[in-house]
Amino acid sequence: MKDITIAIDGYAGCGKSSTAKEVAKKLGYLYIDSGAMYRAVSLHFWRHNIDFENESEELIEELENIYIDFNFGRNKPFPVVTLNGVEVEDEIRKPEISAIVSQVSVHKSVRREMVSQQRRLGEAGGVVMDGRDIGTVVFPNAELKVFMTASIDKRAERRLAELQSKGIPASLEDIKANLAQRDHIDSSREVGPLKQAPDAVLIDTTNLNFDEQVDLVCKLAKEKIAKKSNKKTSQSRS
Ligand code: CDP
């Protein structure tokens, strides 16, 4: 089976990460959560009291002290993000980090650093990466690009259920406000804004269940994989 690159972009909380994880599992691909990387940078700034509202010299210099990776352990169902070698998967999902991550992500220096690390992690192909600018900036040549959306009410309900299942307290109204604020900042920033790539397939998950959205992306992926295999076969014959 030929390895392709799958880029899944879209609005906050529309099911990108859960879909991307399951698609990667079904195809035997690597899953990379680019949002977790921006969340880990935010956690680092938050812990070290770095003023993240301005792209100061201090902030730019502090990026040199941040090394983000993923642990691909045998006993882990999915890769777990690490910040300077320590797993931070649960901490980065907390509301205080959700509240600042989009402000941290507007900075050019932060994006430059993350895009370069994302390319390194996904360069071998056979990867599903989700985020905001994967199909437009990180992997503009990805064979499959998906742009996901869903109504804000549905997204907030799903995010509340996810946080509650992890025992993280949250209110529906606060979640909704956070999603709307992040969508606004993500779509209007100058560098790597959230936008649909012209060649991305739009999937609205408002009325889809989890299995339906996974099946849809897997079907699209298999078509692209078959196309790539056919191309290689016909090239080797000629
Ligand atoms: O899972 P959720 O949709 O809540 O967000 P996420 O994927 O964890 O990303 C958190 C935040 O990181 C986003 O709201 C963006 O501000 C930022 N981000 C970004 O700027 N570029 C990416 N490729 C991924 C995330």
Q: Which residue's alpha carbon is nearest to atom 13 within ligand 1?
A: 102
The pTM of the full predicted model, rounded to 2 decimals, is 0.92
Find the domain containing 34 and state its range. Answer: 5-223
176-229 residue pLDDT tens? 999 999 999 999 999 999 999 999 999 999 999 999 999 999 999 999 999 988
- Cβ of 19 closer than 6 Å to ligand 1, yes or no, is no
| 38, 98, 100, best to mutate for ligand 1 pocket (most atoms within 8 Å of CB) | 38
pLDDT score of 38: 98
Please give the average per-residue pLDDT across 98-122, as a whole number: 95
In a domain, 153, yes or no: yes
Own/partner pairs, 85-94, CB within 8 angstroms, 24+ separation: 88/40, 88/43, 89/36, 90/166, 91/43, 92/36, 92/39, 92/40, 92/42, 92/43, 93/39, 93/163, 93/166, 93/168, 94/168
3-22 residue pLDDT tens? 999 999 999 989 899 999 99
20-62 residue pLDDT tens? 999 999 999 999 999 999 999 999 999 999 999 999 999 999 9
Q: Which residue's alpha carbon is nearest to atom 19 within ligand 1?
A: 132
The atom of ligand 1 lying closest to the CA of 183 is 14
Please give the average per-residue pLDDT across 91-114, as a whole number: 95
In a domain, 230, yes or no: no
Label residue 74 by pLDDT band (50, 70, 90): low
In a domain, 198, yes or no: yes
pLDDT score of 229: 83
If one counts the domains in the chain, the total is: 1
In a domain, 233, yes or no: no
Ligand 1 center from residue 57 Cα (angstroms): 24
Please give the average per-residue pLDDT across 147-160, as a whole number: 96
Q: Which residue's alpha carbon is nearest to atom 15 within ligand 1?
A: 102
Label residue 76 by pLDDT band (50, 70, 90): confident
In a domain, 75, yes or no: yes
Label residue 67 by pLDDT band (50, 70, 90): very high
Calculate what percentage of the chain has a pLDDT beyond 90. Answer: 84
Q: Beta strand pairing status for 5-10 and 30-33?
A: unpaired
- CA torsion angle 226 228 232 233 (round to 10): 10
pLDDT for 73 beyond 80: no
Ligand 1 center from residue 11 Cα (angstroms): 8
CATH number for the domain harbouring residue 71: 3.40.50.300
CB atoms within 10 A of CB 197: 19
pLDDT score of 1: 60
- Cβ of 95 closer than 6 Å to ligand 1, yes or no, is no
Closest CA to 130 of 27, 36, 2: 36
Average pLDDT of the chain, as a whole number: 93
Calculate what percentage of the chain has a pLDDT beyond 70. Answer: 97
In a domain, 237, yes or no: no
pLDDT for 124 beyond 70: yes
Element at 211 (helix H, strand E) = helix 210-237
